[in-house]
Amino acid sequence: TTLLGSNEAVGLPKLPTTSYDRPPSSPEAAAGMLSRATFAWLNPTLRLGNQRPLEENDLPPLCRMDSSQTATDSFDRHFEAMRALGTASQPNAVALSLWRSFGREFAVAGVVKLLSDVCQLATPLLLRHMISLLEGGANAAQGVRATLALFAVSCLQAFSLRHYFAQLFRTGLRLRAAVVGATYRKLLRVAPTARVSFGDVTNLIGPDSQRICDLVPYLHALWFAPLQVLAALGLIFSECD
């Protein structure tokens, strides 16, 4: 954090960030809504991987939003805005810049996880409803409706959970790319007289950034784990009454 928020490079020119050749478009960018929802745009790569070990040239290009340049540019833009307001020296300036860059997609993933948990809670309720229908001598139409409802809820729960993890793993990679990219740009702009610990730099772009990447998919557990416990206790008490 100290390295990213340092002001040692005052007076040095800012590096250009758009000097790279544009990569070929990603198949995900050209995929339709159904293909994105089912991850079908990955099928050619998966089929090729089933035939032989994949090589670097076999992997599809990244989307523009997943590139390290885009992630670093977004972080730099928000951090420079805080610097203009005089708040870049605060201890949480880097974390706040990362939140402003990637917080929206992180929050959207939380909504998807909430939908998954609601479906998970609805499954035992639907099962109890089906049992009550069987005990009450329900007709075939009622049984079919209950079965279809259970099937739809289970599919929606699996669908939302897969997209929750896919989105958060992607967000974690973007966070890691932003931290590594911002550190690299800072090192190129740092003044020759600045005291920089190369051990701190190595830790920041290596283990520390990887820990951030690994932590992101499980941060929502801070709220959904207690919620799941309370929901389970509620179901147990409702059955005991």
Angle between helices 68-85 and 140-189 (to 10 degrees): 70
Tokens of 103: 């917080």
Chain position carrying tokens 């809670």: 121
**Residue 2 pLDDT:** 52
- pLDDT: is 44 or 134 the higher one? 44
Q: Which residue, among 68, 99, 95, 93, has the nearest Cα to 80 in the 3D structure?
A: 93
Q: Is the distance from CB of 96 to CB of 4 less than 8 angstroms?
A: no
Non-local CB neighbours of 96 within 8 Å, separated by 6+ positions = 78, 82, 90
Tell me: the pLDDT tens digits for 121-142?
A: 999 888 888 888 888 777 778 8
Average pLDDT over residues 55-76: 88
CA angle 69, 110, 236 (to 5 degrees): 155
**Residue 129 pLDDT:** 84
Residue 7, pLDDT > 60, answer: no
pTM score of the predicted model: 0.80
Q: Which residue, among 95, 129, 100, 105, has the nearest Cα to 4 in the 3D structure?
A: 95
**Residue 142 pLDDT:** 82
